[in-house]
Structure 1
């Protein structure tokens, strides 16, 4: 499981489907939580083609592998030219990571900025939170405008 992208010049993939995610062996044999935060996630509205913006928070408890962060960054960046609804982007990211990495548990929060005056927040998790692992709140406040 040698990472393909680490230390290499790596252009953004053409699409999320074309993006390859690297997984490396979990270095610890104890339950713990990993959190990735992507506060500037972008995709495109499938109706208007206009950009949509979100703050994503991905939490997972690893099993035998962890996702390599550069490959995750490239995967998320591939959504910049991808047209999909907020729900499809958020849940699709969570399902793909869960399917490929096979962690003990995974959740994703997609905190989308307003479209048409309405912010949309999308949440998905793979099942019940595992016992014995500290899983903090995602810490993203609800949208309150500029003040």
Structure 2
């Protein structure tokens, strides 16, 4: 796992960067929070997240919503996009994917607060939703609801 800490040391932004072969090979980068004196929420939504079933190799699909209140660092968005894309050919259960993403971001950023909602589409007829957060959000920060509806099939 690689971490870059200065904007001048970013290795992916502004350059053609191939999709990493696996999450372990993905380089997540961070930059200084330009408003570290303020408590605010950042949201990333990945409505087309994909990974592979570790047993069958069949694709799994999810809508991920990542909310965090940054401390000194924010994640560089292109590196996050490439990191999430690296799961495309990675075999892992829904719970592992969701929590691995959360833990990697917490390790990289040391945020004041982070939550992730993994809204997985059905596998074997059962949708699996996975949720994690680091604790109570800081007081006074507006944290909008994730508002991803439960899976209802066709209607």
User: TM > 0.5 between the two?
Assistant: yes
TM-score scaled to structure 2, two decimals? 0.93
1:55 aligns with 2:55: no
Report the Cα distance in structure 2 between the residues aligned to 1:44 and 1:98, rounded to whole angstroms: 24
Match in the other structure for 1:44: 52
Are residues 1:26 and 2:29 paired?
Answer: no
> 1:4 Cα shift?
1.4
Specify the SS of the correspondent of 1:99: helix
Structure 1 length-normalised TM:
0.98
Alignment of 1:103-118 (within 5 A): 103-118=111-126
Measured in 1, the distance between the counterparts of 2:152 and 2:138 equals 32
Whether 1:123 and 2:123 are equivalent positions in the alignment is no
Counterparts of 1:19 and 1:78, CA distance in 2? 7
**Distance in 2 between the 1:95 and 1:126 partners?**
9
SS in 1 for 2:61: strand
The one-character-per-residue Cα deviations of 1:87-114 (angstroms, maximum 9, x if unpaired) are 0000110011001111100000000000
Other structure's SS at 1:136 match? coil
CA distance in 2, matches of 1:41, 1:132: 31
Contiguous gaps of at least 5 residues in structure 1: none
- Structure 2 distance, partners of 1:4, 1:132, is 35
Gap runs ≥5 in structure 2: 1-5
Give the CA deviation at 1:68: 0.5
Aligned length: 147
Q: How far, CA to CA, are the matches of 1:101 and 1:19 in structure 2?
A: 16
Task: Answer with 67-76 or 122-131: which moved more.
Answer: 122-131
Residue 14 of structure 1, CA deviation? 1.1
